[in-house]
Chain A
Amino acid sequence: MSRAEYFRSLRYCLYTMRRPLTGFWDLIHEKKGTMAAAHTLIGVAIIVQIMSLVLTNFQFNWINMETFSAWIVLAQVLIPVILWVVANWCLTTLFDGKGKMSHIYMGLAYAHAPMILINALLIPVSHMITFEEGAFYWTFATVGTLWFVLLVLCAMKEIHDYSFGKTIITSLLTIFAIGVMLFIFMMFFAVVSDGVVYFYSLYQEVAYR
């Protein structure tokens, strides 16, 4: 992949932002998007999220820097993406969705574009306005989030070649599936840690004899 191709595919996120339906169709079917660009977008989303938590003026930011951890922010962005990709793929293969796992990942990554731009813009803005003018700030933050949600829906629709209603239903089911997965993970870790403790105490019992 040439450098020019990479930059072209990265710049394509500006197009999917404005024309999500044709944009996400072409992203997959015309091979306008690349995995490298998708990774870049997710990476930038993580960096912007960390920066916005660290650099946003305290008036709009309730982060206690004593307990702040960049790793947790990383997980907060990355884990939902991974869970969504897996859960959505598992579901849509059953509901004859056309998308592959990489396609879902790519669509989700490109959908992050407006949120990245708006959140990055809001960092300097937060230092220019007062708490009482916060309506401005919160409106933009909300617009960013809603835009992101809309883009995710459009991406899923185009990638799987679904109708709009079916997209909504599968998306809701995906959220449910994520909940189930988290529950199973939790159960699994609880059982494993109990098992580890059991065998460790067994070992100790033997070792002390």
Chain B
Amino acid sequence: MKKCICIALALVLALAPALSFTAFASGTGPTNYTYTYNEWGVPVPSPDAYRVTAFIMGADLYLEGESVGHFFRPQDLAVYSNYVFVADTGNSRIVVIRANEDGTHEAVDVAYHAYYPDGTPTTFNRPYGVFVSSWPATRGEIWIADTYNQRILHVDRSWNILNEVLKPTDLTLLEEEMEFLPQKIVVDFSGRIFAQVMRVNRGLMEFSFDGEFVGYMGAPPVVVNIVEQFWRLVSTRAQRDRRILFVPVEYNNVHIDREGFLLVTTSSEEVDPVRRLNILGEDVMIRNGWWYPVGDLWFGDAAHIRGPSTFVAVTSLPNNSFVVFDSTRGRLFSYCSQGHLLYAWGGPGFREGFFQTPVALDSMGYTLFALDAATMAITRFDLTEYGELINLGLHYYHRGMYDESAAAWQEVLRLNGNFGMAYIGIARAYLRLGYYRQAMRYFRIQRDALNYGRAFSFYRREWVERNFWIFALAVGVLIVVPPVVKKAIAIRKELKEA
């Protein structure tokens, strides 16, 4: 059976390019390259939740009638209002793109310099990261990880430098000979800067609003297995020194969500590839799905693409679901705030909706902008009707408006009967309304034992109350019957003896 599914899936995947080509050509219709994992961890095809609506290359962007020219190995993008800021790393510039209402995109600014308060310009040197604040206090201000100038620049919209963060001088916290190469940065509502710095494995570097180095936060835990611990125990000091060092892994990207939590990704296989850190650096991600958010559960090694998904970017959506970008296979995985996989799509390739070297991802509302360093272009994804319904369902669901969410889930099921969360959503609505039998049925479809048990205990209580006479009768029988039988036997014995 598994083999059958495998073959079916292979067929679907093989046919996907052909189908999706026609779909892209017509601009509508399903593309069949979206899928999800069911409750047994088996991939099942799903309708498209996102569809490519624009493929933005630098050369197609015009500023005052002149093309801004191709991006060169761009590394990051940041969304602010309806603007997209691109860290065009190879060209050492920041390109600002405006997404117009009619779906077109145009360049509105190209910056090669920032300006000190006295007016002297300073050029960027391969900036790997850019962040634009949407917080009320610092709205519209820009932070640039000016990587090979070894600094973080805090500038306003006219590129006037407000602050410059250089390598911290506190040597107890950072080795002297190490270069300070900030790559990805985010800033929280109070202006604290969190930077992911190249070759720093103690977590994110945290700076205060005025650029003071505060410390490291959220280092991923070191994983040492038992066998390794045993060898450490029995080996001499010299041997220990020669063994590989067990150091924490590096983060490779960071994103700040609307509530101020940091979403971080790491490419290590040993720790959770995507984590949600609170202000103390603790992982507070909710992982209630059947599987942890790790991307693909099934993977082969076709065409030298092997191993598990490698997350390189993450972004959060208004309903607190998040999307991660997998560089192994160029796929996007969308998880809801509870950690259920909603849909996965994309793949390796040179066509629209496929990726070569994913590097960055950001969201404008529910619209996604995905940056590919190799094709040097931004792919814009917009929700389809199906995707909108799912996000509507989630929106109501996480606000506890189960009746409204159930209506959305019914619509989702009409489009895709394989969407597991919809069954749970409907069951929850039934449970709340007191239709325990129906709730049990829907929970059972998704094998949600915990919630099934909850519905069942209500159902059982109701059943017992309704059929109390059975119990009363049983107890009555147990009290009455034994003495009667005893008596009867005694009488029979007496009769026999007589």
Contact = CB atoms under 8 A, between A and B. Distances in A.
A106 B456 CA distance: 42
Interface string A115-156: 000000000000010111100000000000000000000000
Q: Is the interface of B mostly helix, strand, loop or mixed?
A: helix
A148 B453 CA distance: 30
A64 B453 CA distance: 20
Contact of B452 (A66, A128, A131): A131
The interface size bin for chain A is: 10 to 19
A57 B40 CA distance: 17
A58 interface: yes
A67 B1 contact: yes
Nearest to A130: B453
A134 to B, nearest CB: 8
Given A58-B444, A128-B460, A130-B456, A67 B450 contact: no
Contacts of A67: 1-2
Interface residues of B, number: 13
Given A66-B1, A67-B1, A67-B2, A132 B444 contact: no
Contacts, number: 27
B449 A59 contact: yes
Contacts of B457: 130, 132
B40 A64 contact: yes
B454 interface: yes
B453 A132 contact: yes
A60 to B, nearest CB: 8
A58 B449 contact: yes
A130 B40 contact: no
A7 B143 CA distance: 87
B453 A59 contact: yes
B447 interface: yes
Interface string B414-429: 0000000000000000
Nearest to B450: A131
A131 B453 contact: yes
Nearest to B451: A131
Interface string B346-380: 00000000000000000000000000000000000
Interface in B438-462: 444, 447, 449-450, 452-454, 456-457, 460
A58 B450 contact: no
Contacts of B449: 58-59, 131
Contacts of B447: 58
Interface string B1-32: 11000000000000000000000000000000
B347 to A, nearest CB: 27
A65 to B, nearest CB: 10
Interface in A40-88: 58-59, 64, 66-67
B6 to A, nearest CB: 13
A66 B40 CA distance: 10
Contacts of A130: 452-454, 456-457, 460
Contacts of A131: 449-450, 452-453
Contacts of B40: 64, 66
A130 B453 CA distance: 4
Nearest to A127: B456
Nearest to B5: A66
Contacts of B2: 67
Nearest to A67: B1
A156 B457 CA distance: 45
Interface of B: 1-2, 40, 444, 447, 449-450, 452-454, 456-457, 460
18 contacts: A58-B444, A58-B447, A58-B452, A59-B449, A64-B40, A66-B1, A67-B2, A128-B460, A130-B452, A130-B453, A130-B456, A130-B460, A131-B450, A131-B452, A132-B450, A132-B453, A132-B457, A133-B453
Interface of A: 58-59, 64, 66-67, 128, 130-133
Given A58-B447, A59-B449, 8 more contacts: A58-B452, A59-B453, A66-B1, A66-B40, A130-B452, A130-B456, A130-B457, A132-B453
**9 shortest A-B CB distances, which residue pairs?**
A130-B453, A131-B453, A131-B449, A59-B449, A67-B1, A130-B457, A66-B1, A130-B456, A132-B453
